[in-house]
Chain A
């Protein structure tokens, strides 16, 4: 399935024009808001317990994006990568302020994908051990595993969101998997 994050040169060009319009007049931010609201909401909700909290944070993400839009510089990277970076910061701020524990939402189907990715034969009784490993993942490690396996993001997209190279994202994910594997098996 084609990842909607990936854009052609023409699409990026159109997006650039849209961003420039919004930089000139904040009212022109609406098409970007409409285009990315659901992506940002889902990105945030994936890491939260409640929909209302997710809506608050998503709203905060777009507000910050709008306030700082003048500083945004187009570098042939989808605008959504910038929004997701803001979202990551807002999520971190939320958990720091609220002193709540970080939430990880897992679909068992995708957990199995992660299991297979670690090149090991699927066995149901080990799922609990993987979950216990995910429970203790922190910071960027957790983000990388979530984005790769629970959100099906490509390494290219992960790299752009995390401001690292595609290859670096790949290496980091494999290293985390390797560490998890050592503890599980």
Chain B
């Protein structure tokens, strides 16, 4: 039960302002943000946290000066968030395509991506559509090696906490006219679809804000719709398209059914006409559910009211739809007398107002559902086009070969963008049974205190391990390590080596092997990565 106050004295603006204190607010805010790390972990973790702080201070104040004096190589990269390719000469190259803005364009990019750009959707900085030849630059990063070469940070800061991403695919796209970057008009987003070997639907879409130097969450995973798609075996026939054709037929049936149920606006009663009331079975006539207080208005174009009929106490009434929209045949029966009229449900005064409000609500729901179904139809058509083109595309051979080897399934991730830049389907890397190890990195008998990288091949993640930090991993995940060893050299600890780390070791010395081959291009690195850096396999 609520307490009711009647006519309480009003409070003036001056009185309200007595309570206003921005400085007090800022003080509270500062205290909260300063306390966050302890608070988040709970009080019981306060002492371990302080211990970590003290140990860190010890490392910074005592150990690091010693290390400096001893001349051991050290590079600090902690906290770096900008794009920083480790081998600038081996960055992942862009695929360059040229389009005209004058019509809708679908671009198919090897390996297996599709970019849909609407007519006049690309504009210059003044907001004008560009009608000349436009250059589209696209590249994608699908595995830890490609992510590494891109130098794109895979750390996401959220409310003061850093998470490393595991990726279901990352792309970078830009459009240029005479080397000047173009924008996307807000009314016509660009759609991008790409093949992803990570079939889960719990990845979210993020955009890299290069000014704020952080990932910006954009939307939940849009892969659900395509989840049922399995990888097609090489040489498989048109059968691969059948589920999509069936799906298209089904969605079109649903749309047709939905359109049949389009709510009709209520009609205001005409006081000059005859009316009668009957109870409606809403299950049989759902479109009449609006009319809880319905009266029927006789359509005298069909038949005028027989003046003797209103006086009869009818025993049976049958209602059926007529050919005229929102009109019904109403047949009254008593003994041998039958009277058939055509009538339209109408409403009076306030009932009409309420019914109209309900109609607006129903119509809004109808439009929303119809738009969702149409979007789904659009997706299915896109999938069909995409697959038909894939089969024709030369790149299919490469896709089939690589995927046949791993017998993996794949999904198509599809999303719309309003900004050019770097987009990534990610989720925070979390291990169920995390192991922590203090690493010592040795290359050619020298100890390195330098950033190295762990590629988690199972989770498709690249984890940066800064000097002095422990390395976390999961026994079940297949991992390998590498470290940049000069301008064009790499030192590695292969996945095979990694599997030999004793379970639950507190520390481990990683003897990284310096690869003879120099890295001049992304292909050099990716080829080595594909064979687990066993360079003699060629």
Please list the residues of chain A having a beta carbon within 8 angstroms of any beta carbon in chain B. 26-27, 30, 33-34, 37-38, 41-42, 45, 49, 51, 54-55, 58-59, 62-63, 66-67, 70, 101-108, 119, 131, 134-137, 142, 165, 167-168, 170-171, 174, 178
Interchain Cβ contacts under 8 Å between A and B, 30 examples: A26-B26, A30-B22, A33-B20, A33-B22, A34-B22, A37-B20, A45-B11, A49-B5, A63-B25, A63-B28, A66-B25, A66-B29, A101-B2, A101-B3, A103-B3, A104-B2, A106-B6, A108-B6, A108-B7, A131-B6, A134-B2, A135-B2, A135-B4, A136-B1, A136-B2, A137-B2, A167-B357, A168-B364, A171-B357, A171-B360
Q: Is the contact region of chain A dominated by helix, strand, or loop, or is it mixed?
A: helix
Q: How far is the CB of B210 from chain A (nearest CB, A)?
A: 15
Cβ of B358 within 8 Å of any chain A Cβ, yes or no, is yes
Q: Is the contact region of chain B dominated by helix, strand, or loop, or is it mixed?
A: helix
Q: Which 9 A-B pairs give the minimum distances between C-beta atoms?
A: A55-B19, A171-B357, A102-B2, A105-B5, A167-B360, A103-B3, A104-B2, A41-B16, A101-B3
Measured between beta carbons, the chain A residues less than 8 angstroms from B159 are 70
Cβ of B24 within 8 Å of any chain A Cβ, yes or no, is yes
**Residue contact A131 to B4, C-beta cutoff 8 Å:** yes
Of B3, B6, B28, B361, which one neighbours A168 at CB under 8 angstroms? B361
Q: CA A102 – CA B5 in complex, angstroms?
A: 11
**Residue contact A37 to B16, C-beta cutoff 8 Å:** yes
Q: How far is the CB of B33 from chain A (nearest CB, A)?
A: 8
Q: CA A145 – CA B17 in complex, angstroms?
A: 27
Q: CA A34 – CA B22 in complex, angstroms?
A: 8
Please list the residues of chain B having a beta carbon within 8 angstroms of any beta carbon in chain A. 1-8, 11, 13, 15-17, 19-22, 24-26, 28-29, 32-33, 159, 350, 353-354, 357-358, 360-361, 364
Q: CA A83 – CA B244 in complex, angstroms?
A: 46
Measured between beta carbons, the chain A residues less than 8 angstroms from B21 are 59
Q: CA A107 – CA B8 in complex, angstroms?
A: 7
Q: CA A102 – CA B358 in complex, angstroms?
A: 31
- On whether A63 and B29 interact (CB within 8 A), knowing A101-B2, A103-B3, A136-B1, the answer reads yes
Question: Can you name the residue of chain A whose Cβ is closest to the Cβ of B20?
Answer: A37
Q: How far is the CB of B295 from chain A (nearest CB, A)?
A: 19
Measured between beta carbons, the chain A residues less than 8 angstroms from B350 are 119
**Residue contact A26 to B19, C-beta cutoff 8 Å:** no
Measured between beta carbons, the chain A residues less than 8 angstroms from B29 are 26, 63, 66-67
Question: Can you name the residue of chain B whose Cβ is closest to the Cβ of A111?
Answer: B6
Measured between beta carbons, the chain B residues less than 8 angstroms from A131 are 4, 6
Measured between beta carbons, the chain A residues less than 8 angstroms from B5 are 49, 103-106
Q: CA A2 – CA B392 in complex, angstroms?
A: 62
- On whether A42 and B16 interact (CB within 8 A), knowing A63-B25, A136-B1, A174-B357, the answer reads yes
Known: A70-B159, A106-B7, A167-B361. 11 other contacts (CB 8 A): A37-B16, A45-B11, A54-B19, A62-B25, A63-B29, A66-B25, A67-B29, A101-B1, A107-B6, A119-B350, A135-B4
Q: CA A103 – CA B6 in complex, angstroms?
A: 11
Measured between beta carbons, the chain A residues less than 8 angstroms from B358 are 171
**Residue contact B11 to A42, C-beta cutoff 8 Å:** yes
Of A58, A66, A171, which one neighbours B361 at CB under 8 angstroms? A171
**Residue contact A27 to B354, C-beta cutoff 8 Å:** no
Of B2, B15, B364, which one neighbours A103 at CB under 8 angstroms? B2
Question: Can you name the residue of chain B whose Cβ is closest to the Cβ of A70?
Answer: B159
**Residue contact B7 to A67, C-beta cutoff 8 Å:** no
Q: CA A27 – CA B1 in complex, angstroms?
A: 42
Q: CA A177 – CA B70 in complex, angstroms?
A: 82
Question: Can you name the residue of chain A whose Cβ is closest to the Cβ of B157?
Answer: A70
Q: CA A104 – CA B159 in complex, angstroms?
A: 37
Measured between beta carbons, the chain B residues less than 8 angstroms from A168 are 361, 364
**Residue contact B32 to A67, C-beta cutoff 8 Å:** yes
Question: Can you name the residue of chain A whose Cβ is closest to the Cβ of B15?
Answer: A51
Residue from the set B3, B21, B350, B358 with the largest chain A CB neighbour count within 10 Å: B3
Measured between beta carbons, the chain B residues less than 8 angstroms from A105 are 5, 8
- On whether A170 and B16 interact (CB within 8 A), knowing A49-B5, A106-B5, A134-B2, the answer reads no
Question: Can you name the residue of chain B whose Cβ is closest to the Cβ of A30?
Answer: B22
**Residue contact A59 to B6, C-beta cutoff 8 Å:** no
Q: How far is the CB of A60 from chain B (nearest CB, A)?
A: 9
Q: How far is the CB of A117 from chain B (nearest CB, A)?
A: 11
**Residue contact A63 to B32, C-beta cutoff 8 Å:** yes
Q: How far is the CB of B217 from chain A (nearest CB, A)?
A: 9
Q: How far is the CB of B31 from chain A (nearest CB, A)?
A: 10
**Residue contact B26 to A27, C-beta cutoff 8 Å:** yes
**Residue contact B16 to A38, C-beta cutoff 8 Å:** yes
Q: CA A171 – CA B362 in complex, angstroms?
A: 11
Q: How far is the CB of A106 from chain B (nearest CB, A)?
A: 5
Q: CA A134 – CA B22 in complex, angstroms?
A: 36
Q: CA A59 – CA B24 in complex, angstroms?
A: 9
**Residue contact A142 to B26, C-beta cutoff 8 Å:** no
Q: How far is the CB of A174 from chain B (nearest CB, A)?
A: 6
Of A102, A107, A136, A178, which one neighbours B354 at CB under 8 angstroms? A178
Measured between beta carbons, the chain A residues less than 8 angstroms from B32 are 63, 67
Question: Can you name the residue of chain B whose Cβ is closest to the Cβ of A171?
Answer: B357
Q: CA A174 – CA B353 in complex, angstroms?
A: 10
Measured between beta carbons, the chain A residues less than 8 angstroms from B1 are 101, 135-136
Question: Can you name the residue of chain A whose Cβ is closest to the Cβ of B354?
Answer: A174
Question: Can you name the residue of chain B whose Cβ is closest to the Cβ of A110?
Answer: B7
Of B3, B26, B353, B364, which one neighbours A104 at CB under 8 angstroms? B3
Q: How far is the CB of A141 from chain B (nearest CB, A)?
A: 11
**Residue contact A33 to B4, C-beta cutoff 8 Å:** no
**Residue contact A104 to B19, C-beta cutoff 8 Å:** no
**Residue contact A49 to B3, C-beta cutoff 8 Å:** yes
Measured between beta carbons, the chain B residues less than 8 angstroms from A142 are 2
Q: How far is the CB of B12 from chain A (nearest CB, A)?
A: 10
Q: How far is the CB of A41 from chain B (nearest CB, A)?
A: 5
Measured between beta carbons, the chain A residues less than 8 angstroms from B26 are 26-27
Q: CA A26 – CA B353 in complex, angstroms?
A: 47
Q: How far is the CB of A16 from chain B (nearest CB, A)?
A: 14
Q: How far is the CB of A83 from chain B (nearest CB, A)?
A: 13
Q: CA A27 – CA B30 in complex, angstroms?
A: 11
Question: Can you name the residue of chain A whose Cβ is closest to the Cβ of B349?
Answer: A119
Question: Can you name the residue of chain B whose Cβ is closest to the Cβ of A31?
Answer: B22
